[in-house]
């Protein structure tokens, strides 16, 4: 992951992307025990032409450094890395509020636990629900924090349904 962090920071330095934050399972593992995951998901903010978001510069930059596509991802060391352009106000805010931390002494930005949970809520697959439960179990976020952030982003119904299905608290 150190190699991924270095790559992401150099992308910002070279203005390939304006911002980034690790999210998904890799970010989750800051707080929970390890889980098996297919790749490292990275939210990125990049320039767009009208409604069209171009990720070609990311692929070109990676290729120039010898990092080549592998399926939907780009292989960086041990990790297939998937670059996901921010896709709604929730993910925009998740990047803006992302925490600065380090991985093996290299700086890296990571989405906060509350945003990880609410992004998972918005996606709504079984593995996303499992992520929310794992984050709650880890003690890093509370039901109330998720409820507030979910409400802010129009996900109150999704949160209530999640509560009824998995937690059964009102």
Partner 1 sequence: MKNEIKIMLDKQSEWQKNRAKLSWSEKLDQSLVLRATCIELRKGYDVHTHASVVAEARDEYEAGKLVK
Minimum CB separation from partner 1 for residue 15, in Å? 28
Stretch touching partner 1 by CB under 8 A, among 7-15, 31-39, 65-73, 91-99: 31-39
* Contact between 130 and partner 1 per CB under 8 A: yes
- For partner 1, give the closer residue by CB, 46 or 74: 74
61-77: string of b/e by CB count within 10 Å (b at 16+)? bbeeeebeeeeebbbbe
Closest CA to 143 of 124, 166, 122: 166
- For partner 1, give the closer residue by CB, 125 or 170: 125
Closest CA to 130 of 143, 141, 121, 142: 121
- Quote the CA–CA distance of 112 and 110 in Å, as a whole number: 6
* Contact between 127 and partner 1 per CB under 8 A: yes
* Contact between 9 and partner 1 per CB under 8 A: no
- Quote the CA–CA distance of 139 and 44 in Å, as a whole number: 28
Residues at the interface with partner 1 (CB under 8 A): 1-2, 25-26, 29-30, 33-38, 78-79, 101, 103-104, 127, 130
């Amino acid at each position: 992951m150190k190699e991924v962090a270095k790559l992401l920071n150099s992308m910002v330095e070279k203005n390939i992307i304006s911002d980034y934050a690790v999210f998904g399972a890799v970010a989750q593992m800051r707080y929970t025990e390890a889980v098996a995951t297919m790749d490292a998901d990275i939210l990125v903010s990049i320039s767009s032409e009208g409604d069209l978001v171009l990720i070609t510069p990311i692929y070109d930059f990676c290729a120039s450094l010898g990092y080549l596509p592998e399926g939907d991802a780009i292989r960086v060391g041990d990790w297939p890395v998937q670059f996901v352009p921010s896709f709604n106000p929730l993910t925009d805010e998740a990047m803006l509020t992302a925490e600065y931390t380090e991985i093996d002494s290299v700086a890296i930005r990571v989405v906060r636990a509350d945003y990880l949970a609410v992004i998972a809520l918005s996606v709504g697959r079984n593995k996303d629900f499992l992520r929310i439960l794992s984050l709650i179990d880890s003690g890093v976020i509370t039901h109330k924090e998720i409820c507030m952030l979910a409400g802010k982003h129009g996900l109150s119904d999704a949160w209530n349904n999640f509560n009824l299905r998995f937690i059964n608290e009102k």
